């Protein structure tokens, strides 16, 4: 399957102001080109967080929680089977215990058994735990039947979520979701773990006002390592509020103030905590937590994050590492099968449909999101990948990934409104969503989504772009500059890691790891180490224009740095 070539586009240049004095000049330029007009904007701190009292639903939520703690009620935090849901569950359990909860438990659905979120099947599962109050984290806003089932058993229900709501809200006792219509919270980009952290901050304030802390009050900043990991792994936009949360969490982790589970996961993924970056979270730590929910039971991942025993945490982290290896093998097999299927759906002119829907009866529902993401990256088209909901099931579970300019959750809502009986349930964000439908509805869904996409997916939207921060001269290509960029983050969605471009001579090449291309590039007499992951299939010409990230080369150490090539074309 051919990969659609991206177009290299330079960001408009913006000169940094006096506020950037003392910063590395390249970093100052990068901040300015992302719209920063002050150091506080470029590097927001916890003091700049939007205040909790501006978020809707917190008064009712904290009253529920404070009353439950005072009554020694049994609080069950119900998590989700991805990294955001796991970290949110760990933050909820740890935080409520820190704030005086003596009977705080957790439960998490099994993807293959209970489906997504607080379903009636999940309510039946936790019934023997006899909860007095159920707290959902990273889900619940679309769980009408499950919330009703829980209320029918006499339990109180607090929904904390960040996903977009439907037309009606579930019948919970309290709902905290910054994306509920009319909510005045200034940032709509919080991950699920960020929402429950805000709930805990508001709860601490209520308990403080009630005189609940006889001496020193609990330090919730101890939870910021988990907040950072869940926020980065969920790929939510890193607006100023999220950057403040993630930066604070990274600082704690780099200084060694990290829970045993995250320390063990960093070790097993061979990442140095002292130099940890958002990329390390996104590519190493997050996937190992996610793997438990994809192929096994996410309770294993949550147990790792809740453990205070480093030996036990290391034992679980090793198990998660093995599951992640299995997940990668399953994912690669499914991606290979998807590519073969795509070869059969090309249109007569050699192009592809503007939306891609894929289904294979042998696929695993826990990995379809990763398959959709991989195919989306290669083709720069919205992709929905489906697998059977379970062995012998007539239902499909789908995971959608989209591209900038096409809101996939809204597209699914339009599909559902045009064909009311087609989609059983759906939910998500602009760039990612999940859904369920009957297997016999797959073809109709594929065509309806294609029709809905219609004029929205114009050629400009379907043209992938790589945004460059311009050219670096030889003097700026240094270990010091690479470290300044690495430490200048956090980088992520909506505040992207810097990419640069330039024209280089190709002095030598060699293939490493069968799939990757190691190059030595020449510029102004300097010889520069570069690597292009997955680039072994296409030999470069003698002179190339490349877009690249500048990174410290910790493997070689010393003053070593490297160019990580993300795009190349003949000069």
Query: Long-range pairs for 210-216 at CB < 8 Å and ≥24 separation?
Result: 210/66, 212/66, 212/100
Q: Is the pLDDT of residue 293 over 90?
A: no
Q: In the chain, count of helices (H) and strands (E)?
A: 18, 17
533 in the same domain as 565 = yes
Task: Establish if 336 belongs to a structural domain.
Answer: no
- pLDDT reported for residue 310: 97
Q: Say if 2 falls within a structural domain.
A: no
Identify the band that residue 341 occupies on the pLDDT scale cut at 50, 70 and 90.
Answer: confident
Identify which has the larger pLDDT, 204 or 41. Answer: 204
Same domain, 168 and 186: yes
Cβ proximity of 84 and 242 under 8 Å: no
Q: Is the pLDDT of residue 173 over 50?
A: yes
CB atoms within 10 A of CB 428: 21
Residues 406, 554: one domain? no
Q: Which residues of 540-566 are buried (b: 16+ CB within 10 A; e: fewer)?
A: beeebebbbbbbbbeeeeeeebbbbbb
Residue ranges of the alpha helices (H) in 164-239? 192-209, 224-233
Domains: count for the chain: 3
Residues 347-363 as b or e (16 or more Cβ within 10 Å = b): eeeeebbbbbbbbbeeb
The strand pair at 526-532 and 133-137 is best described as unpaired
With the CA atoms of 431, 288, 262 and 178 taken in that order, what torsion angle do they form, in degrees rounded to the nearest 10? 20
Checking if the pLDDT of 345 tops 60, the result is yes
- In b/e form, how buried is each residue of 311-326, taking b as 16+ CB within 10 angstroms? eebbebbebbbebbee
Query: What does each C-alpha distance from 547 to 30, 260, 503, 530 come to in angstroms?
Result: 15, 38, 9, 11
Say which CATH number the domain at 379 has.
3.10.310.30
Residues 76, 126 contacting (CB under 8 angstroms): yes
CATH of the domain at 522: 2.40.50.460
Q: What is the pLDDT of residue 429?
A: 81
Q: Is 503 found in the same domain as 378?
A: no
Tell which residue, 259, 265, 290, has the closest CA to residue 280: 265
Indicate whether 296 belongs to any domain. Answer: yes
Instruction: Classify 534 in phi/psi space as left (phi over 0), alpha (psi -120 to 50) or beta.
Output: left
Q: Could you give the CA distance from residue 263 to residue 334 in angstroms, rounded to a whole number?
A: 31
Both 254 and 161 in one domain: the answer is: yes
Q: What does DSSP say about strands 432-438 and 465-468: parallel, antiparallel, or unpaired?
A: unpaired
**pLDDT tens digits for 179-203?**
999 999 999 999 999 999 999 999 9
**358 near 383, Cβ under 8 Å?**
yes
Return the H-helix or E-strand segment holding 320: helix 310-342
Cβ–Cβ under 8 Å, residues 183 and 59: no
Q: Could you tell me if 214 and 266 lie in one domain?
A: yes
Tell me what the mean pLDDT of segment 363-381 comes to.
90
452 and 503 share one domain: no
Letter string b/e over residues 89-98, b meaning 16 or more CB atoms within 10 A of that residue's CB: bbbbbbbbbb
- Give the Cα separation of 323 and 300 in Å (integer): 11
Does position 374 have pLDDT exceeding 80, yes or no? yes
Grouping H, G, I as helix, E, B as strand and the rest as coil, residue 395 is strand
Q: Which of 16-20, 473-477, 513-517, 528-532 is predicted with the least confidence, judged by mean pLDDT? A: 513-517
Q: The sheet that has 395-401: what strands, in order across it? A: 356-359, 383-388, 395-401, 432-438, 423-428
β-strands 104-107, 75-78 pairing: parallel
Task: For residue 2, count other CB atoms closer than 10 A to its CB.
Answer: 11
Domain C-terminal end among 456, 473, 489: 456
Tell me: pLDDT of 123 over 70. Answer: yes
Placement of tokens 């945490």 in the chain: 313
pLDDT, position 1: 37
397-432: pLDDT as tens digits: 999 999 999 999 999 999 999 999 899 888 888 888
Is pLDDT above 60 for 348?
no
Which tens digits make up the pLDDT trace of 151-165? 999 999 999 999 989
Residue 346 has pLDDT above 60, yes or no: no
Is 329 inside any structural domain? no
pLDDT of residue 288 exceeding 70: yes
Based on the domain organization, do 311 and 377 belong to the same domain?
A: no
Residue 2: the pLDDT is 43
At residue 349, the pLDDT reads 57
DSSP letter for 283, please: I
Contact yes or no for 562/529 (Cβ under 8 A): yes
Query: How much is the mean pLDDT over the chain?
Result: 93
| Residue 449 within any structural domain of the chain | yes
Average pLDDT (15-33) is 96
What pLDDT, in 10s, does the model give residues 440-485? 999 999 999 999 998 899 999 999 999 999 999 999 999 999 999 9
**Alpha-carbon separation of residue 173 from 65, 135, 147 (angstroms):** 11, 10, 10
Rounded-to-integer distance, Cα 489 and Cα 283, Å: 16
CATH number of the domain that residue 184 is part of: 3.90.1640.30
| CA distance readout (Å), 264 to 289, 316, 480 | 11, 8, 29
Asked whether residue 511 is domain-assigned, the answer is yes
Residue 260 predicted with pLDDT over 50: yes
Domain end marker among 409, 436, 456? 456
Instruction: Note whether 298 and 398 are same-domain residues.
Output: no
Judge whether residue 559 has pLDDT over 60.
yes
Give which of 150, 166, 60 is closest to 107, Cα–Cα.
Answer: 150
Which contiguous run of DSSP H or E holds residue 9?
A: strand 7-10
**pLDDT value, residue 537:** 86
Tokens standing for 37? Answer: 């007009």
Looking at the fold, whether 315 and 406 belong to one and the same domain comes out as no
- Is 274 inside any structural domain? yes
Task: Specify the pairing of strand 174-176 against strand 156-160.
Answer: parallel
Phi, psi of 214 (to 5 degrees): -70, -35
Phi, psi angles (nearest 5°) of residue 216: -75, 135
Q: How far is CA 31 from CA 39, 251, 290, in A?
A: 9, 19, 31
112 falls within a domain:
yes
Mean local confidence (pLDDT), 229-244 = 94
Domain termination site, one of 287, 322, 357:
322
Instruction: Using pLDDT thresholds of 50, 70 and 90, give the confidence band for residue 359.
Output: very high
CA angle 415, 417, 419 (to 5 degrees): 65
| 312 and 232 assigned to the same domain | yes
Asked whether the beta carbons of 485 and 42 are under 8 A apart, the reply is no
pLDDT at 24 over 70: yes
The boundaries of the domain holding residue 148 are 50-322
Identify whether residues 58 and 197 lie together within a single domain.
Answer: yes
């Amino acid at each position: 399957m051919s990969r659609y070539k991206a177009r290299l586009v330079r960001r408009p240049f913006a000169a940094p102001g006096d506020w950037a004095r003392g910063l590395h000049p390249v970093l100052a330029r990068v901040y300015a080109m992302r719209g920063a007009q002050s150091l506080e904007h470029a590097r927001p701190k916890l003091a700049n967080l939007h205040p909790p009292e501006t978020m809707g639903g917190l008064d009712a939520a904290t009253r529920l929680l404070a009353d439950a703690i005072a009554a020694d009620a049994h609080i069950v935090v119900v998590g989700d089977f991805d990294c955001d849901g796991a970290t949110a569950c760990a933050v909820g359990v740890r935080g409520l215990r820190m704030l005086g909860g003596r009977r705080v438990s957790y439960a998490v659905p099994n993807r293959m058994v209970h489906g997504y979120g607080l379903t009636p099947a999940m309510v039946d599962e936790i019934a023997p735990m006899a909860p007095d109050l159920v707290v959902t984290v990273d889900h619940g806003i679309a769980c009408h039947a499950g919330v009703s089932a829980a209320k029918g058993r006499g339990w109180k229900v607090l929904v904390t979520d960040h996903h977009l709501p439907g037309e009606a809200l579930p019948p919970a006792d309290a709902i905290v979701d910054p994306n509920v219509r009319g909510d005045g919270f200034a940032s709509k980009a919080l991950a699920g773990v960020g929402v429950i952290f805000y709930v805990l901050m508001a709860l601490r304030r209520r308990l403080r006002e009630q005189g609940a802390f006889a001496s020193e009050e609990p330090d919730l900043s101890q939870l910021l390592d988990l907040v950072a990991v869940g926020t980065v792994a969920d790929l939510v936009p890193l607006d100023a509020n999220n950057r403040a949360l993630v930066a604070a969490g990274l600082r704690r982790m780099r200084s060694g103030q990290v829970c045993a589970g995250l320390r063990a996961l960093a070790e097993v993924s061979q990442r140095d905590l002292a130099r940890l970056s958002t990329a390390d979270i996104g590519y190493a730590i997050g996937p190992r937590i996610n793997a438990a929910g994809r192929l096994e039971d996410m309770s294993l991942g949550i147990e790792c994050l809740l453990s205070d025993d480093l030996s036990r945490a290391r034992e679980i982290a090793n198990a998660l590492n093995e599951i992640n290896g299995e997940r990668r093998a399953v994912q690669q097999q499914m991606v290979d099968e998807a590519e073969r299927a795509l070869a059969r759906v090309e249109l007569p002119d050699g192009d592809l449909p503007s939306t891609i829907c894929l289904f294979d009866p042998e696929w695993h529902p826990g990995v379809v999101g990763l398959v959709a993401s991989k195919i989306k990256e290669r083709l720069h088209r919205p992709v929905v990948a489906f697998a059977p909901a379970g062995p012998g099931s007539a239902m499909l579970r789908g995971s959608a990934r989209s591209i900038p300019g096409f809101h996939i959750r809204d597209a699914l809502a339009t599909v559902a409104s045009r064909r009311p009986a087609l989609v059983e349930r759906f939910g998500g964000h602009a760039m990612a969503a999940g859904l369920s439908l009957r297997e016999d509805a797959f073809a109709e869904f594929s065509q309806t989504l294609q029709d809905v996409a219609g004029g929205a997916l114009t050629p400009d939207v379907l043209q992938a772009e790589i945004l460059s921060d311009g050219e670096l001269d030889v003097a700026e290509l240094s270990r010091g500059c690479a470290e300044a960029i690495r430490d200048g983050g956090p980088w992520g969605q909506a505040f992207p890691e810097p990419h640069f471009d330039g024209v280089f001579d190709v002095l030598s090449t060699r293939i490493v790891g069968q799939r990757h291309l190691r190059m030595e590039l020449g510029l102004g007499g300097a010889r520069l180490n570069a690597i292009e992951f997955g680039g072994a299939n296409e030999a470069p010409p003698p002179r190339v224009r490349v877009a690249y990230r500048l990174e410290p080369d910790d493997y070689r150490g010393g003053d070593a740095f490297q160019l990580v090539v993300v795009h190349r074309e003949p000069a």
